[in-house]
Amino acid sequence: MGLFTKKPIHSLLQDANDGEHSLKRSLSAGNLIALGIGAIIGAGLFVRTAAAAANNAGPSVTLGFVVAAIGCAFAGLCYAEFASMIPIAGSAYTYSYATMGELVAWIIGWDLVLEYAVGAATVGIAWSEYLNKLLEMFGLRVPYEWSHSPFESLTDAAGVHHGMMNVPALFIIFMLSLLLIKGTKESAVVNGIIVISKVAIVILFIVLGWGYMQPANHTPYIPPASTITDAQGVTHNYGGIWGILGAAGVVFFAFIGFDAVSTAAQEAKNPKKDMPIGILGSLVICTVLYILFAHVLTGVANVNDFRTVGKEASVAYAIKTYMAGYGWLANMVTVAILFGFSSVILVMLMGQSRVFYSMSKDGLVPKLFSDLHPKYSTPYKSNLVFLVLVGGFAAFIPGDIVGDMTSIGTLFAFILVCAGVWILRITNPEIQRQFKVPLVPVVSILGIVVCGAMIAGLGWTNWARLGGWLIIGLVIYFGYSRKHSKLKTD
């Protein structure tokens, strides 16, 4: 057996119906759309939008969203074909195993830790920021030392404050991990309620904020090309085409919800019908809301705000500072965002545990990742392991760093999925596809090119982090996974 041995499609489909060892099919198309929206509308909209405007594109961050949405559309079509054809938990990992072989599957499975686990940590950190905004309404606040990582510091009139541990971020990840252990259906119901509330708040901000936009904040819409250095000492391309591509790479973090839907394929009631609806439906709805929201936010507040006093909890800051009489909206936004971030973390933690569930079933990671709870039929041991991993990232690493790591991990996964659809059309044209991507290989090639351009825009520091992460993964693969692979031992 070589490094590029593929897992047969019939074996994948057999795994989906593995009796008592199979995940429970309890999610409808509506549940899946809600899961997608729950993951998409979150930190990317309420936090990463301001970060991309400040460090990359200014008001043309909206064009970054357009570029990101185009890349997502190509990748989303490919995900929809795979999910309707191979309705198995595991997302891009499973698809890569069937099309490009075990080594590539391992690489993408390991890369998905960046997408889901590190992504959940990013949103946990943003949840901590908005929790402090909520507490300020009551004259309270979690001390800086206990709501920031050891790599962050703040200088004010009282002196220099150094972060020690982000306790609120760790707390929310702990609570949501326990909810996931309870059950996927229960988690989906909670998520559905949260999604309705935060979509309503997003629409309310767009409608009310439209009248408070200042033309000067959108001038020039595309800033001239230059470079700036952020608080962590990282240099970014600002303005021009590279600034827009960099912004697209940063806010791409916001679009990973629709591929998180694909990780729940094995829990969908009718995956061949429901998966394309869930993936593409959530993507279309959220793309429209994203572009409108980013346009209003950058029109209400200016770029310098997002670099300084408005860097944390930027939406609440913009409302309180520039929308007189709407302090109540800022408070509602803060509460809705806290709930909204919770749903994002929930979906990401679920996606991560399902990817490692599939990898464990294949023998590439230890059996404990596929052990199901005797009562709830959820991979509870996997949830507990990622509680420790994600909690560690959230408690001790700054949000900007883990956010960009998530984006580059996501883009890398999307490139492999786009390539996988093209490969499988050539190698297995006979497989039934209830949903087919139009114009293959054109769509696949465009997806690879657009996602590759956004990776280029993220800069060398993120390339280095991805490279280092993949080296660690390869050490684990050759040290453990290759020896324990069930495809080689069966």
pLDDT in tens, 111-146: 877 778 888 888 898 899 889 888 988 889 899 899
Between 23 and 307, whose confidence is greater?
307
Q: Is pLDDT of 332 > 70?
A: yes
Per-residue pLDDT band at 185 (split at 50, 70, 90): low
Q: Is pLDDT of 89 > 60?
A: no
Q: Is pLDDT of 214 > 70?
A: yes
Q: Give Cβ neighbours of residue 429 (< 8 Å, ≥ 6 apart).
A: none
Can you tell me which residue has the tokens 């990992």? Answer: 93
What integer pLDDT is reported at residue 206 of this predicted model?
94
Task: Say whether pTM exceeds 0.75.
Answer: no
The CATH homologous superfamily to which domain 9-489 belongs is: Amino acid/polyamine transporter I (1.20.1740.10)
Give, to the nearest 10 degrees, the angle between helix 184-209 and helix 271-300.
Answer: 30
Q: How many of the other CB atoms lie within 10 Å of CB of 446?
A: 17
Tell me the C-alpha distance between 131 and 148, whole Å.
13
What integer pLDDT is reported at residue 42 of this predicted model?
63
Span 54-66, mean pLDDT? 91
Q: Is pLDDT of 198 > 70?
A: yes
Task: Supply the mean pLDDT for the chain.
Answer: 82
> In the chain, count of helices (H) and strands (E)?
22, 4
Q: Could you tell me whether strands 226-229 and 159-162 are parallel, antiparallel, or unpaired per DSSP bridges?
A: unpaired
Lowest-confidence pick of 33-47, 158-172, 345-359? 33-47
What integer pLDDT is reported at residue 223 of this predicted model?
92
Q: Is pLDDT of 31 > 70?
A: yes
Q: Is pLDDT of 188 > 70?
A: no
Q: Is pLDDT of 310 > 80?
A: no
Would you say 90 and 361 are in contact if contact means Cβ atoms under 8 Å apart? no
Specify the DSSP element, H or E, that contains 290: helix 271-300
Q: Is pLDDT of 21 > 50?
A: no
Q: Give Cβ neighbours of residue 486 (< 8 Å, ≥ 6 apart).
A: 361, 362, 363
Where along the chain do its domains lie?
9-489
Lowest-confidence pick of 15-19, 132-136, 377-381? 15-19
Span 371-394, mean pLDDT? 87
Q: Is pLDDT of 261 > 50?
A: yes
Q: Residues of the chain with pLDDT > 90: what percent? A: 18
The listed range with the strongest mean pLDDT (46-50, 231-235, 268-272, 397-401) is 46-50
Q: Is pLDDT of 479 > 90?
A: yes
What integer pLDDT is reported at residue 444 of this predicted model?
94
Tell me the C-alpha distance between 251 and 152, whole Å.
22
Q: Is pLDDT of 25 > 70?
A: no
Summarize the chain as % helix, strand, coil (round to 5): 75, 5, 25
Q: What angle do CA 182, 80, 119 make, to 5 degrees?
A: 50
Q: Is pLDDT of 402 > 90?
A: no
The CA–CA distances, whole Å, from 34 to 23, 38, 124, 340 equal 20, 6, 20, 12
Would you say 251 and 64 are in contact if contact means Cβ atoms under 8 Å apart? yes
Span 146-172, mean pLDDT? 85
3-state secondary structure at position 163: coil
What integer pLDDT is reported at residue 211 of this predicted model?
92
Q: Is pLDDT of 203 > 60?
A: yes
Would you say 453 and 395 are in contact if contact means Cβ atoms under 8 Å apart? no
Span 347-363, mean pLDDT? 83
Q: Residues of the chain with pLDDT > 70: what percent? A: 87
For the segment 417-475, what is each residue's pLDDT rounded down to a tens digit? 899 889 888 988 887 777 788 889 999 999 999 999 888 888 788 888 888 988 999 99
What integer pLDDT is reported at residue 489 of this predicted model?
57
